[in-house]
Amino acid sequence: MTTKATKSTSGAPVYDQPTGLTNPPIDELLDRVSSKYALVIFAAKRARQINDYYNQIGMGMREYVGPLVDPGMHEKPLSVALREIHGDLLIHNEGE
């Protein structure tokens, strides 16, 4: 992943805040689940639901819930799922 550097008024480079797997920070996401493995499963299941939601729109079905945060343009379902988890919009029940 690359970030664009811009110059500040003092001349020092200023980097844009990275997004994706580095934002939200993994450490903050791990506070919401019991282990990193639980985080992976939880995020992957939610990303699949988001992906299925977009696929079913064309068929006129409404079985899945769409993104609970405003997805950015070209943002992948996993990044959206991680932002939902970070925003405490989803509740994780161990073993489900």
- Strand pairing category for 5-7 and 13-15: antiparallel
**6 inside domain:** no
Residue 29, domain extent: 19-86
pLDDT winner (highest mean) among 7-11, 14-18, 89-93: 89-93
In this predicted structure, the answer to whether residue 65 has a pLDDT above a threshold of 80 is yes
**69 inside domain:** yes
**14 inside domain:** no
Return the percentage of the chain with pLDDT > 70, whole number: 77
> For the chain, how many structural domains are there in total?
1
**56 inside domain:** yes
**2 inside domain:** no
The answer to whether the pTM exceeds 0.75 is no
What backbone torsions phi and psi does residue 28 show, to the nearest 5 degrees?
Answer: -70, -35
- In the beta sheet, which residues pair with residue 7? 13
Q: How confident is the model at residue 11 (pLDDT cuts 50, 70, 90)?
A: low
Q: Output the pLDDT for position 17.
A: 64
